[in-house]
Structure 1
Amino acid sequence: MDRIIDRIPEADFGLIDEIAKGNEKANVLFAAVDYGIFELLTQPKTADQVSEEIKTDSRLTEKFLNALVALNFIHKIENQYSNTKLAETFLVRKSPFYQGTLFEMKRRGLTDWQRISDALKNGGIKTGTENKSIIDRTFIVGHAEMAITGVMQRAVDVISALPEFKRAKKLLDLGGGHGLYSIALHQLKPDLEVVLFDLPHVTEIAKEYLEQYGMSNKIKIIAGDFTEDDIGNGYDIVFASDVTISGILKKVYDALNENGVLIYRRWTINDDRTSPLTSVLFDFMLAMMRSEHRVYTLGEYIHLLEDTGFSITRILDISSPQDPTKIIVAKKSKK
Structure 2
Amino acid sequence: METTLEIAPKKVISPDHIMKIGMGFWASKTLLTAVKMDLFTKLGEDSLSREELQQSLGLHPRSSADFFDALVSLGLLHRNGKDWEEKYCNTLETSIFLVRTSPAYVGGILEMANDRMYGFWGNLEEGLRTGQPQNEIKQTGKSGFEAIYAQSDVLEQFLNGMAGAQVGNFMALANAFNFGAYRSLCDIGGANATLSICLVQSHPHLQCLSLDLPPVAPIAARNVEQAGLTGKIQIGALDFLTQPFPAAEVITMGNILHDWNLETKKMLIRKAYEALPENGALVVIENIIDDQRRENTFGLLMSLNMLIETEGGFDYTYADFNEWATEAGFHSTTKVPLAGPTSAVIAYK
TM category (shorter chain) comes to 0.7 to 0.9
The CA deviation string for residues 258-307 of structure 1, in whole angstroms up to 9 with x for no partner, is 22222222332244545421121122232344622222221221111111
Q: Do the aligned partners of residues 318 and 220 (structure 1) sit closer, same or farther apart at CA in structure 2, a change above 3 Å counting?
A: same
- The 1-side partners of 2:99 and 2:49 are apart by 19
SS in 1 for 2:48: coil
Q: Do the aligned partners of residues 306 and 70 (structure 1) sit closer, same or farther apart at CA in structure 2, a change above 3 Å counting?
A: same
Q: How many residues end up aligned between the 2 structures?
A: 316
Give 5+ residue unaligned stretches, structure 2.
1-9, 150-154, 258-264
Are residues 1:260 and 2:260 paired? Answer: no
Report what 1:156 is aligned to: 174
Give 5+ residue unaligned stretches, structure 1.
1-7
The CA deviation string for residues 75-127 of structure 1, in whole angstroms up to 9 with x for no partner, is 22221222222221122222222233211111211112111232334343442
Report what 2:157 is aligned to: 138
In angstroms, what is the RMSD of aligned CA positions? 2.3
Report what 2:3 is aligned to: none
More moved, 246-255 vs 122-131: 122-131
Report what 2:6 is aligned to: none
SS in 1 for 2:281: strand
Contact in 2 for aligned 1:47/1:58 (Cα 8 Å): no
Report what 1:3 is aligned to: none
Q: Do the aligned partners of residues 267 and 126 (structure 1) sit closer, same or farther apart at CA in structure 2, a change above 3 Å counting?
A: closer
The CA deviation string for residues 10-38 of structure 1, in whole angstroms up to 9 with x for no partner, is 63312112113321112222232333322
More moved, 255-264 vs 210-219: 255-264
Identity %: 26
Are residues 1:209 and 2:220 paired? Answer: no
- The 2-side partners of 1:230 and 1:131 are apart by 25
Report what 2:56 is aligned to: 53
- Per-residue deviation at 1:140? 1.2
Report what 1:310 is aligned to: 330
Q: Do the aligned partners of residues 290 and 192 (structure 1) sit closer, same or farther apart at CA in structure 2, a change above 3 Å counting?
A: closer
Report what 1:93 is aligned to: 100
Report what 1:11 is aligned to: 13
- Per-residue deviation at 1:251? 2.2
Report what 2:311 is aligned to: 291
Q: Do the aligned partners of residues 51 and 225 (structure 1) sit closer, same or farther apart at CA in structure 2, a change above 3 Å counting?
A: same
Instruction: Determine which structure has the larger helix proportion and give its number.
Output: 2
SS in 1 for 2:163: helix
- The 1-side partners of 2:338 and 2:26 are apart by 31
SS in 1 for 2:132: coil
Q: Do the aligned partners of residues 299 and 39 (structure 1) sit closer, same or farther apart at CA in structure 2, a change above 3 Å counting?
A: closer
SS in 2 for 1:222: strand
Amino acid of the structure 1 residue aligned with 2:161: G
SS in 2 for 1:310: coil
Contact in 2 for aligned 1:89/1:98 (Cα 8 Å): yes
Report what 1:301 is aligned to: 321
Structure 2 residue aligned with 1:74, among 77, 86, 104? 77
Structure 1 residue aligned with 2:253, among 240, 253, 267? 240
Contact in 2 for aligned 1:127/1:289 (Cα 8 Å): yes
